[in-house]
Amino acid sequence: MGDLISIHPTELKFPFELRKQSSCSMQLTNKTDKYVAFKVKTTNPKKYCVRPNSGIVLPGSSCNVTVTMQAQKEAPPDMQCRDKFLIQSVVAPDGATYIDVTSEMFNKEDGQVMDEFRMRVIYIPANPPSPVPEGSEEGSPPRETVHENGNQNSSFEDVSRSLEENKEKYSEELLRKDISKSRAGGFSLSFVVLVSLLGVLIGYLVKRA
């Protein structure tokens, strides 16, 4: 845990049910007598929204952060999730508000002293299965550890405050892809038509000769 803020819980546990949105929350507590700015990032920004995704925690006070996961169409193998969250925190100027929080405040290249805390995501079945024989769950922690270690180098990105923003970004990407495909398809069609016309013209000239 960092020197600036404490985070509870230390893992994000989502009740998981197919095609249903799910949320969980965490509490950030400022352990210092200074103003602390925080920012939340994730390895899968299209899947989650965080409110607030950045802000200021006053000296000795706490801030509740809600993380919402979009409805999922399918469950991952063994209900193991590889997604991670990163909570960054830095000392902010006295009297700062959430409006004063900028990306530059979390730039390591400026020599800024910054705390970083990584959180993994855990799925909890909304409808737990019937009890299993003892020993069957003993293999679960090692599998989680493998995912944890295997995902250390994942890149964290800024996460939106609302699912609507995520949907808009996703729609824009799909639109750009569709336009690119249509352009490529249009070029191919034009090329085929041009070749056909040339073939007809050559055949006509050959007949006249």
List pLDDT tens digits, range 118-131.
999 999 998 765 55
Among 86, 95, 108, 110, CA closest to 38: 86
Instruction: Tell me the pTM.
Output: 0.65
How does residue 175 score in pLDDT terms, banded at 50, 70 and 90?
low
Quick: pLDDT tens for 71-107: 999 999 899 999 999 999 999 999 999 999 999 999 8
- Whether the pLDDT of residue 145 is over 50: the answer is no
For residues 39 and 206, give the distance between their C-alpha atoms in angstroms, rounded to a whole number. Answer: 73
How does residue 173 score in pLDDT terms, banded at 50, 70 and 90?
low
Among 84, 85, 52, 66, CA closest to 24: 66
* Per-residue pLDDT, 110: 66
Q: In what order do the strands lie in the sheet with 62-69?
A: 5-8, 22-30, 62-69, 48-51
Quick: pLDDT tens for 4-46: 999 999 999 999 999 999 999 999 999 999 999 999 999 999 9
CATH 2.60.40.10 fits 5-124, yes or no: yes
